[in-house]
A and B are shown apart, each in its own frame.
Chain A
Amino acid sequence: MKVVLDHLTKIYPPRNKKDGGFVTAVNDFCFEIPDGKLIGLLGPSGCGKSTTLNLISGLETPTSGRIFFGKDDVTELPPENRGVGLVFQNYALYPHMTVMQNITFPLENLKGADKLSKEQMEEKALEAAKMVQIEKLMDRKPSQMSGGQQQRVAIARALVKRPRVLLLDEPLSNLDARLRLQTREEIRRIQKETGITTIFVTHDQEEAMSITDMIVVMEAGSVRQIGHPQEVYEDPKNLFVAKFLGTPAINVFEGRISGGKLYIGDDAVMDAPAPDQEVWIGIRPEGFIPAADGPLRCRLRGVEVMGRDTSIISENDHCQSDTIRSIISSEIRVDRNSPEVRFAVKPNRTYVFEKESTERIYFGWETPYSPNEDAPSCAGSGEAAAQAGAGPTKATEA
């Protein structure tokens, strides 16, 4: 089911007299989610991800804007008539019910012609349980299961009514690292098997990059960039997105463009055919090339060799953070005892942003991102995207 968010806005009134003003939790959200895709909704805590999800599920009503499932305008529909499944961070399984009772609970609410017999319900529940591989645990209580198993039950409960749209609100946040990896693959597999349009909320960029077809990066209620995960990583449209994606994080410098050159301090690191101005410069860790005559001079603080990669830790007065972390191939040797390390930078891993607006400055040589396989572009039609099948699911490593 294609989901269209049309200028969706949610403004909360002040909670009480003391805490002052209105909160714009979601600001003019426009997005057409193609059918059958897994969409990552990514952003820091408090940026409006849950609110967006609640608007789609119908738990909240938008202040303005409309929501469509396919061709149906569902903006005024109550949650139960929308056909959505919801999964929460804390699973929200009913603790006094067994797994079976938890999964059949949504079915028991069906009325009239949809009403099911007990056998039908249990059959459907078992089917959903098989999908998440918990069919052997049907008689357990939630407290007798691990977090990962509980989250699977929650997913089965959300799937049992065959929703048109599946909404997951930080489903992995309560799991430990190992289970998180495992469960996210599981979610990806289930989503592919069922082909249900899925929106996956997370504040963990790695999670979003690894399993989604497309990510939406949000900041303070507004969408900052939408695109294929690798596209958003390689071609950030603004400083926020550049900083939010990537581990280790991007290195941000204060710099300027002067006479067609890009300067960090007194070092002209690359050509920059743009008007003279103060700028932010973001260089990905893999964007540094150690070179004896490299233009960017930094004080060397340490070298960490870890198998394939070497991390060079260095300092520069114009860097926003205390240290610069650059990652290079282990095959390149670095003199650990030298007080200074010099770098050349890769132009396609170096991004320049306007000082005030923090929007990206393009120089004209950037090649637009082109996915290896057909991945939907955010402006593309849902139909074409649906045909395209699954896009690449793994963000290629940095």
Chain B
Amino acid sequence: MLEKNNRKAWLYLLPAMLFLGAFMVYPLVDVFVYSFEEGYNFASQSFFGTGLYNYRYVLRDPYFMQAVKNTFILVIITVPLSTGIALLISLGLNSIKKLKELYQTVFFLPYVTNTLAVGLVFMILFKKTAYSDGLINLLINFFGGSSVDFIDGPYWAKMFVMCFYTIWVVMPFKILILTSALASVNEDYYKAAKVDGTAPFRIFTKITLPMISPMIFYLVITGFIGAFKAYSDVVAIFGTDLNAAGMNTIVGYVYDMLYGNSGGYPSFASAAALILFAIVLTITCINLLVSANSDNF
């Protein structure tokens, strides 16, 4: 009976398994194989030999190292900062009950707004055109500074724009998650704490924070993964020639190796992709370990 049910279950799962196999598992295995095949050629389906050559090449490529550096800076700056700022804003929203709904809509707007429209906003803020230096530069000028070229200028300025953009884009989602997490903390905990004369900061660190920590962990993990995968946003701001701009990311490097100016090197692309995979896997495992070891109820 159980046996039969089991077989039936597999039968039902079959279409999904086939689909996943064809479009996820097979390409993954393929990428894995490519990454060890030296000089693989799409057209002739030929390669010179197998080995770690591709990895050696990619790891020595200054463009790749630049991309790794950029990606790490992006991750390390934006994930904690965006989560922290989102938490502050959510706490504020949670304490102003009346305006909560309105603000939630306002903060959620970027999430549902078209990427192009978002890009346009950033143009207005940062881009130097024939007519203006951008809103931010106007502000800098107003306070007596001199204009900075955020798009084609110094590395730190470009990095600033990129981080700013990333934080801004992920903010609404994080605020949404955190405000609902805060709202779901039972009122009675706060009543109990208040009767015991708990100071507000202690209420925050000893009650609120632990209660919403599962959601914070969730945001940090997805934030890490999202930031490691950054690519399209960078293109939207700095154009397609990211290597020249010095603003490439790991995913951007993979893309360039496949289709970009230096395109046509699937082996290098595969090796770079697997390195990224290894990095993301390691960090996610560390995250999960940390969250498993800390307060679980």
Contacts and interface: CB of A to CB of B under 8 A. Distances in A.
Contacts of A105: 193, 196, 198, 206
B194 A80 contact: yes
A94 interface: yes
A86 B192 contact: yes
B192 A88 contact: yes
Interface in B203-218: 206-207, 210-211, 213
A96 interface: yes
B186 A86 contact: no
Contacts of B194: 59, 79-80
B188 interface: yes
Contact of A80 (B189, B195, B213): B195
A94 B195 contact: no
For B188, B193, B195, which residue has the most chain A Cβ atoms within 10 angstroms? B195
B153 interface: no
A80 B297 contact: no
- Interface residues of A toward B: which range? 20 to 34
For B191, B210, B213, which residue has the most chain A Cβ atoms within 10 angstroms? B191
A59 B206 CA distance: 20
B56 interface: no
Contact of B196 (A88, A95, A109): A109
Contacts of B207: 94
A84 interface: yes
Contact of B195 (A86, A95, A143): A86
A265 B193 CA distance: 59
Interface string B178-195: 000000001011011111
B202 A109 contact: yes
A59 B188 contact: no
A80 B197 contact: yes
A157 B186 CA distance: 18
A90 B189 CA distance: 10
B29 interface: no
Contact of A59 (B195, B202, B210, B211): B195
A54 B190 CA distance: 13
B296 to A, nearest CB: 8
A15 B194 CA distance: 22
A141 interface: yes
B3 interface: no
Contacts of B99: none
A78 B202 CA distance: 17
Interface in A35-84: 54, 57-59, 78-81, 84
A109 B197 contact: yes
Nearest to B189: A92
A360 interface: no
A161 interface: yes
30 contacts: A57-B195, A59-B191, A59-B194, A59-B195, A78-B197, A79-B195, A80-B194, A80-B195, A80-B196, A80-B197, A81-B197, A84-B195, A85-B195, A86-B191, A88-B188, A88-B191, A88-B192, A90-B186, A92-B189, A94-B206, A94-B207, A94-B210, A95-B297, A96-B213, A96-B296, A105-B196, A109-B196, A109-B198, A141-B297, A157-B192
Interface of A: 54, 57-59, 78-81, 84-86, 88, 90, 92, 94-96, 105-106, 109, 141-143, 157, 161
